[in-house]
């Protein structure tokens, strides 16, 4: 009983620590990605967009946003930068002229070969076992879902 009271009084503190740990871990992960992706000329959010396009292409701005949880205020300038880098082309859809379809260029397609080494280099840096990674992934997905339903 005492343990429960202590646990409850510590819950907010622990929760605060978890949020900060989340914030720190996310920054640390993108910091590890940074020099690796620099070789490709990409930032981490740009790499995420390319991953989606390498899977299936073309995708509308709307679809990319739904997949990555980003809005047009973030994606519009990001896609312009990807376009000026020559990895992507934006074209108005003929069927629905509100939509902008994002296509891969030849260079954008070719980049996927170079990008194949990226995940392994991150896995090497993570220092967690496959089981821990799987458990972390599961916990984070449930946490994200719970947080989203709280808004």
Partner DNA sequence: AACAATTAAATTGTGCACAACTCAATTGTC
Partner DNA sequence: GACAATTGAGTTGTGCACAATTTAATTGTT
Where are the alpha helices (H) located in 1-98, listed in sequence order?
2-38, 44-55, 61-68, 72-84
Pattern 25-64, binding to a second copy, x per CB under 8 A?
A: xxxxxxxxx-x--------x---x--x-------------
Select the binding partner of residue 5 from a second copy, DNA, none (C-beta < 5 to 8 A, by kind).
none
CB neighbour class for 32 (10 Å; exposed up to 12, middle 13-18, buried from 19): middle
Distance of CA 91 to the CA centre of its chain: 24
CB neighbour class for 57 (10 Å; exposed up to 12, middle 13-18, buried from 19): middle
Told to check if 124 binds DNA by CB under 7 A, we report: no
> Looking at beta carbons only, is 32 or 85 nearer to a second copy?
32
Q: Looking at 17, 72, 114, 135, which residue binds DNA (CB under 7 A)?
A: 72
- The residues near 89 (Cβ < 8 Å, ≥ 6 apart) are 83, 102, 103, 104, 105
d(CA 87, CA 111): 8
Q: Looking at 11, 66, 107, 110, which residue binds a second copy (CB under 8 A)?
A: 11
Specify the stretch interacting with a second copy by CB under 8 A; choose among 23-31, 53-61, 89-97, 101-109. Answer: 23-31
Nearest distance in Å: CB 105, a second copy: 23
Nearest distance in Å: CB 150, a second copy: 3
Count residues near DNA (CB under 7 A).
32
């Amino acid at each position: 009983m005492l343990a429960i009271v202590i646990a409850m009084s510590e819950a907010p503190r622990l929760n605060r620590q978890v949020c900060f740990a989340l914030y720190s871990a996310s920054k640390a992960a993108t910091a590890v990605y940074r020099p690796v992706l620099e070789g490709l000329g990409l930032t981490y959010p740009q790499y995420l967009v390319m991953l989606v396009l390498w899977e299936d292409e073309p995708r509308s701005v709307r679809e990319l946003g739904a997949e990555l949880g980003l809005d047009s205020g973030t994606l519009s300038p990001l896609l312009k930068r990807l376009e000026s880098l020559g990895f992507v082309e934006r074209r108005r859809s003929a069927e629905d002229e509100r939509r902008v379809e994002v296509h891969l260029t030849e260079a954008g397609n070719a980049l996927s070969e170079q990008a194949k080494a990226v995940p392994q280099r991150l896995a090497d840096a993570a220092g967690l076992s496959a089981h821990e990674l799987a458990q972390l992934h599961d916990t984070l997905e449930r946490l994200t879902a719970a947080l989203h339903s709280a808004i």
